[in-house]
Structure 1
Amino acid sequence: MSFMRSFASQVVRNYNNRILNVERVTNWSTMSSFQLRSLSDLNVKHNSQKNQFFVELGSDKAVLEYKEVKPGLLDLYHTEVPNQLRGKGIAQMLAKEAFDYMVKNNIKMIVSCTYLQKYLKDNPNEEYTKQVFENKH
């Protein structure tokens, strides 16, 4: 009997700790009021002065950032989507737009962002892989 009581007590403690942890890390005042209806409502824009592709999401924005390594070679190093809008395909839109830009402008790319590496692996496209920089010693 005491084993069951102890076990039940532990389960309740774990459950309560999870609830407290969720409440602790969720800051509702910083949540975006942006409501995504459809991906077709979104437009990816390119700001070459800030070295980023981005999607405006109300007061937030999703970004794919890059830096110029040398003329004709860009390092795509970071992709970020606001937490509350992740998993909805926005990062995929950014990746596709950036890779299409590289192909269209014949720019080589270093893909150091882990999300973009996974995107290339999951979405094989010969036009994209031709633009990936291979450091030949």
Structure 2
Amino acid sequence: MFPVSQVLSRSRYLTRLAKAEMCSGVLQIGHDPTQAEFSVHLNESKAFLSYRLDRKARVLSLDHTEVPAVFQGKGVGKKLVEAALQHAIQEDLKVKIYCDFALKYYRDNEAQLAGKIKYVPE
């Protein structure tokens, strides 16, 4: 076992390292179609956006975004939503949004997304 002070120091170091990586724009967003999610691994944590894809109707439904508390407010959720919307654009999919966070992002950026995203209200 490690002394508590050593564990806390390691935790603080990893948090600072992750913050530095985010500030330098090093976030690597992954897409796993088998798990139906976009994700980013932040040290030992994972942030993700889960979705459903209706292949027949060609609709990507954004269901839920989850970001570990230590990384909230750092733009991680925003990058996940951007990756999902970019995927919808590339694959020519319509988009339904059930996730409150993703919906706020869409509404805040609706003017820039107009003509690119085929939004389908609930």
* Structure 1: distance between partners of 2:102 and 2:82: 10
Q: Secondary structure at the match of 2:89?
A: helix
Aligned amino acid, residue 116 of structure 1: A
Instruction: Compute the displacement of 1:131 (Å).
Output: 1.8
Give unmatched runs, 5+ long, in structure 1: 1-27
Aligned to 2:34: 49
Contact 1:103 1:127 in 2 (8 A): no
Matching of residue 100 in structure 1 with residue 100 in structure 2: no
Percent of pairs with identical residues: 26
Matched pairs, number: 105
Q: Provide, for residues 91-133 of structure 1, a one-character-per-residue CA deviation record: whole Å limited to 9, x for no partner.
A: 11011111011011101121010001100111121145x4212
Aligned amino acid, residue 112 of structure 1: Y
* Structure 2: distance between partners of 1:134 and 1:76: 12
Deviates more, 1:63-72 or 1:91-100: 63-72
Give unmatched runs, 5+ long, in structure 2: 1-7
Aligned amino acid, residue 64 of structure 2: H
TM-score using structure 2 length: 0.76
- The structure that has the greater radius of gyration is 1
Aligned to 2:107: 121
Matching of residue 36 in structure 1 with residue 22 in structure 2: no
Superposition CA RMSD, Å: 2.0
* Structure 2: distance between partners of 1:63 and 1:97: 11
Matching of residue 77 in structure 1 with residue 63 in structure 2: yes
In the TM superposition, 1:6-17 aligns within 5 A as none
Q: Which runs of 4+ in 1 moved over 4 A?
A: none
TM-score using structure 1 length: 0.69
Matching of residue 60 in structure 1 with residue 48 in structure 2: no
Q: Secondary structure at the match of 1:41?
A: coil
Instruction: Compute the displacement of 1:81 (Å).
Output: 0.5
